[in-house]
DNA sequence: CTGAAAGCGCTAACAA
DNA sequence: TTGTTAGCGCTTTCAG
């Protein structure tokens, strides 16, 4: 006999108890639970009443076992604690709630090796689909996912090899717009601090910056392009380097807001006033950016929307059993606050 | 016949296929999978070889259904995107990995109503236990959890009604130490910005601050106690108010680091130098605090440790089937960086 | 040490 | 519209 090690905390009421109490067969109870149309409304009401009265909740494992669906999706992320990912997850959560899915979280903590391992684990877990945020080396397992027809969506990954479903933002255009805005303010000496250059989004932002400069015939000065890594500290250090130059820029464009915060701190520490002495612009528009003083002008990335869009795509794929393809880029837009200032030409 | 809607992406290999291939009964395969000692090592090897060769992975739902365990724990959090919670989760993740559990995430987004609903959902999901971080109104469902003998651990909740398992930090002592440190530096005019006062940790920090003042016969000035809410903005505003007073403090103790960042920004904007003109101290020691300039002196809260400890407690409870009780407070300690300065008495 | 077999709680065909 | 029933894939007794 099975079930010797009874799960002592799960409710022990089963569909059979409900059926007995309601005076119907347990198949009928199942129909009520699944909103099958083939139930007399009178019966349905009676069964529903019994269900609530007894506090019955269906056993998810049993349902999944027979239906082949778990109503759980997996979410693979590099790390938590960055506002950036938090906001994407907010969007995912939102959609998942309406679609009645739960979320299983897998954090790689930037250990690449874990990614591939997790994918096997995910599939094994009976998760119905997976969202991958900022994956490090998807090439290792994307083929597997595709060959299994396992639904997945990539978020914020601009790999060259990518043919599958993915959602990102218009990084190039966002950076282009920000740079153009600075130029419109009269700036010609515009410095740029890059993100981690192994990431597609960082590359695109750099390209956007350069393109805007070129369009307006502003020459690109390599001394004003500093390599950063999206962390606050490199923004700080980068700004110090920039400001120490004899030929210093009048504006600094940081590839993300965290680095822009570092820039702000550095600049302040050197006694340089924002935005009078120097203009600063960021990228992402995380919550904190509206809270700094002065408020950070930045490129808004629709993070929550990205999460929602990715989830919608995934839900659709899961119900249709087909892997869609094509990547989607959601529009960024400039949010003008108080960290940039007009310059006399 | 069931299974009309086949889960087209899950591997279709079952324990039976493995058994046939290995020339044993499928009960034996099951024993191998569960590391049962009653298998001849020769047989075990053969079966294992077949398992890896066929790439077989057990169906989790089937296993859970019969064993009554899911090897998944639920994590209920108010929000993401705060470094604070991210660091706790890192600890949880770490322990979960060694204990071979997966993590189901439920975010309430600070909507109180969702908490209670989630608890039912969690239990229904067949999750083996639950960790609640910073729960808003646990009174609503703690009784239910207890009566079901459902394993749970509270993290960072200092409710008065609490008898169940919980882990937190020494908030009182941390605040006491920080205040005493400021006093040892010669400060007598020490302001305090509180957290959300509906949270126990915020109350304890305030008490610790007051107690240190009293111990050293420094009178408490109500004008120097400002109510905040743990968000950066209230730190900014609070500092402005403080600095504008005719009788201004020489040090500001913010109840958490985010507010301390706000204080730093405000102070800088008013042309006041840190730490020469004013000393600033925070609480939490989130990652960002070591990145500001000057580095923020703060009370280190062992967030990752708290996550690990909570998880260990939960795992133990799940295996023993008993709810432990008693709360645990992990020690805080002062991290001295560069935001505080000696003052001439 | 191994095989046989009884279910775990439920969904979905099939009858009626 | 409802009842009946065959499994989903697996764990765990019970025999041997």
Residues in Cβ contact with B119 at an 8 Å cutoff, skipping those fewer than 6 apart: B76, B130, B141, B144, B145
Residue of B nearest to A274 (CA): B269
Return residue ranges of chain B for CATH 1.10.260.40.
2-63
Chain B residues 277-296 within an 8 A CB cutoff of chain A: 286-288, 291-293
Q: How distant is the alpha carbon of residue B305 from its chain centre?
A: 9
Instruction: Give strand D nucleotides closer than 7 A to any protein Cβ.
Output: 1-14
Q: Which residue is nearest to nucleotide C3 (CA to C1')?
A: B25
* B258 to chain A, closest Cα gap in Å: 10
Strand A333-335 relative to strand A72-77, pairing: unpaired
Nearest to A104 among B87, B104, B265 (CB): B104
- The predicted-structure confidence for B243-262, as pLDDT tens digits, reads as follows 999 999 999 999 999 999 99
pLDDT value at residue A240: 96
The domain made up of B171-302 is a member of CATH 3.40.50.720: no
Closest chain A residue by Cα to residue B59: A124
Mode of pairing for the β-strands spanning A333-335 and A279-284: unpaired
Taking CA atoms, what residue in B is nearest to A151? B9
A71 and B CB contact within 8 Å: no
Which pLDDT tens digit goes with each residue over A183-197? 999 999 999 999 999
Q: Chain B within 8 Å of A83 (Cβ-Cβ)?
A: yes
A338-342, B30-34, B39-43, range with greatest mean pLDDT: A338-342
- Whether A121 and B109 lie within 8 Å, measured CB to CB: no
Answer yes or no: are the C-beta atoms of B327 and B165 closer than 8 Å. Answer: yes
* Cβ atoms A130, A122 nearer than 8 A: yes
The C-alpha atoms of residue B75 and residue B93 are separated, in whole angstroms, by 11
Contact (CB<8Å) A82/B86:
yes
CA distance B142 to chain A (A): 14
Looking up tokens 């979320």, which residue turns up?
A103
Per the model's pLDDT, the better-predicted residue between B155 and B108 turns out to be B155
pLDDT at B158: 67
Count Cβ atoms below 10 Å from residue A9 Cβ, excluding itself. 20
Between chains, do B59 and A80 touch, taking CB under 8 Å as contact?
A: no
CATH 2.40.50.140 fits A72-168+305-328, yes or no: no
- Percent of chain B clearing pLDDT 90 (strictly above): 57
Report cis status (omega within 30 of 0) of the bond before A275: yes
* pLDDT of the residue at A1: 31
Q: Is A1 near chain B, with CB under 8 Å?
A: no
CB contact under 8 A, B292 and A231: no
Q: Do A125 and B102 touch (CB under 8 A)?
A: yes
Q: Which residues of chain A are within 8 Å of residue B64 when distances are taken between CB atoms?
A: 61
> Is the Cβ pair B81, A90 closer than 8 Å?
yes
Average pLDDT value for chain A: 88
For A63-75, the pLDDT digits (tens) are 988 888 888 999 9
**SS3 (DSSP) at A185:** coil
User: CA A201 from chain center: how many Å?
Assistant: 13
Phi-psi region of A2 (alpha: psi -120 to 50; beta: other; left: phi over 0): beta
Q: Is B256 left (phi over 0), alpha (psi -120 to 50) or beta?
A: beta
Is the Cβ atom of A71 within 7 Å of strand C at any atom? no
| Confidence check: pLDDT of B323 > 80 | no
Question: Rounded to a whole number, what is the distance in Å from the CA of A303 to chain B's nearest CA?
Answer: 12
Averaged pLDDT for residues B79-107: 88
Position A157 scores a pLDDT of 79
- A 25-54 residues, CB < 7 A, strand C: 26-27, 30-31, 33-34
Q: Is the CB of residue B57 inside 7 Å of nucleic acid strand C?
A: no
User: Taking the C1' atom of D7, which residue's CA lies nearest?
Assistant: B2
Which of B5, B106, B107 to mutate to probe the A interface, most A CBs <10 Å? B107
Q: How confident is the model at residue B3 (pLDDT cuts 50, 70, 90)?
A: very low
Q: How confident is the model at residue A159 (pLDDT cuts 50, 70, 90)?
A: low
How far apart are the C-alpha atoms of B149 and B147, rounded to whole Å?
A: 5
Minimum CA–C1' distance nucleotide for B16: D9
B105 to A107: CB separation less than 8 angstroms, yes or no:
no
Q: Which CATH class is domain B2-63?
A: mainly alpha
Contacts of residue A288 in chain B, CB cutoff 8 Å? 232
Q: From the Cβ of A7, is strand C under 7 Å away?
A: no
Chain A residue with Cα closest to B125: A60
State the pLDDT confidence band at B6, using cuts at 50, 70 and 90: very low
- Scanning every strand, the nucleotide with its C1' closest to A1's CA turns out to be D13
Q: Give the SS3 label for residue A299.
A: strand
CATH 3.40.50.2300 domain position(s) in chain B: 72-168+305-328, 171-302
């Amino acid at each position: 006999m099975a079930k010797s090690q009874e799960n002592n905390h799960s409710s022990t009421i089963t569909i059979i108890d409900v059926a007995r109490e309601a005076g119907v067969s347990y198949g009928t109870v199942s129909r009520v639970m699944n909103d099958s149309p083939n139930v007399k409304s009178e019966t349905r009401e009676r069964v529903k009443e019994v269900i609530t009265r007894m506090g019955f909740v269906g056993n998810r494992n049993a349902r999944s076992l027979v239906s082949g669906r778990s109503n759980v999706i997996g979410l693979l992320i590099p790390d938590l604690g960055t506002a950036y990912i938090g906001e994407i997850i907010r969007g995912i959560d939102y959609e998942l709630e309406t679609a009645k899915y739960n979320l299983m979280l897998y954090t790689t903590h930037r250990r690449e090796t874990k990614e591939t391992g997790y994918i096997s684990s995910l599939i094994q877990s009976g998760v119905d689909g997976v969202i991958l945020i900022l994956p490090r080396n998807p090439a290792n397992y994307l083929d597997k996912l595709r060959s299994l027809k396992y639904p997945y969506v990539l978020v914020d990954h601009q790999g060259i090899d990518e043919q599958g479903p993915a959602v990102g933002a218009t990084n190039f255009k966002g950076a282009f717009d920000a740079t153009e805005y600075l130029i419109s303010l009269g700036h010609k000496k515009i410095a740029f601090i890059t993100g981690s250059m192994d990431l597609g989004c960082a590359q695109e932002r750099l390209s956007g910056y350069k393109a805007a400069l070129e369009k307006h015939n502003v020459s690109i000065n390599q001394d004003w392009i500093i390599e950063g890594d999206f962390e606050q500290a490199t923004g700080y250090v980068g700004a110090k380097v920039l400001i120490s130059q004899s030929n210093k820029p009048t504006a600094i464009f940081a590839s993300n807001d965290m680095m822009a915060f570092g820039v702000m701190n550095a600049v302040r520490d050197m006694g340089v006033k924002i935005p009078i002495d120097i203009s600063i612009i960021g990228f992402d528009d995380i919550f904190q950016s509206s809270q700094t003083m002065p408020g950070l002008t930045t490129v808004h990335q629709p993070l929550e929307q990205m999460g929602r869009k990715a989830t919608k795509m995934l839900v659709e794929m899961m119900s249709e059993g087909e892997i869609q393809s094509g990547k989607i880029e959601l529009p960024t837009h400039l949010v003008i606050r108080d960290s940039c200032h007009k310059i006399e030409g």
